[in-house]
Amino acid sequence: EPQHAARSAQYLALEEDSIRTFLTAHRANTIIDTTGSFIYLSSRIIEHLKQQTLIVYLEANQSMKEKLFHIYITDPKPVVWNNCFYRLPDESDREALKRCYPDLLTCRAARYAALADVTLPYDVARDEQSTGETFLKEIQTRLTYKDPWFSP
């Protein structure tokens, strides 16, 4: 769609403004659940986010990626593609979505991992037996440094 780039830019501007507002009023022990497109924000706001927060990446396993793909293909929603979507000659929109969406997930996963202070496997993050305390302990055990302010 011709208007997709403009709408994506508008969405990202709003998202960046929301994160900037959060960082300005940041209080201790606060969780911000970003959208998947936060990786496309300006490097300045991402750097501020990294400096002021602990970024935890919930890494999807193959089963979860397949579920995300099925949900998206069944009922596509607006997505910031960041040049990861293109249609081949004689390809329908649906065919292009099926081809490009897994690539989008792969591309994003690499960027999430690069930004993360801690990576948690999806299975650990979504364990139904887990409590908030055990979830925080999982994060703490994966920290490459021990933050004296972080004690679940």
Q: For residues 58 and 116, give the distance between their C-alpha atoms in angstroms, rounded to a whole number.
A: 9
Q: For residues 35 and 55, give the distance between their C-alpha atoms in angstroms, rounded to a whole number.
A: 13
Q: What pLDDT is stored for residue 125 in this prediction?
A: 79
Asked whether 39 and 46 are in contact (CB, 8 A), the reply is: yes
Q: For residues 41 and 64, give the distance between their C-alpha atoms in angstroms, rounded to a whole number.
A: 25
Q: For residues 41 and 149, give the distance between their C-alpha atoms in angstroms, rounded to a whole number.
A: 28
Which tokens go with 7? 């709408």
This prediction's pTM: 0.81
| Per-residue exposure over 111-140, b if at least 16 CB sit within 10 Å of its own CB, e if not | bbeeebbbbbbeebbeeeeeeeeebeebbe
Question: Cα 136 from chain centroid?
Answer: 19
Q: Would you give per-residue pLDDT tens digits along the chain (152 residues)?
A: 678 889 999 999 999 999 999 888 867 777 788 889 999 999 999 999 988 888 999 999 999 999 989 998 899 888 999 988 999 999 998 899 999 999 999 999 999 999 999 999 988 878 788 888 888 888 988 887 655 555 55
Q: What pLDDT is stored for residue 145 in this prediction?
A: 63
Q: Which helix H or strand E contains 21, and what residues bound it?
A: helix 4-24
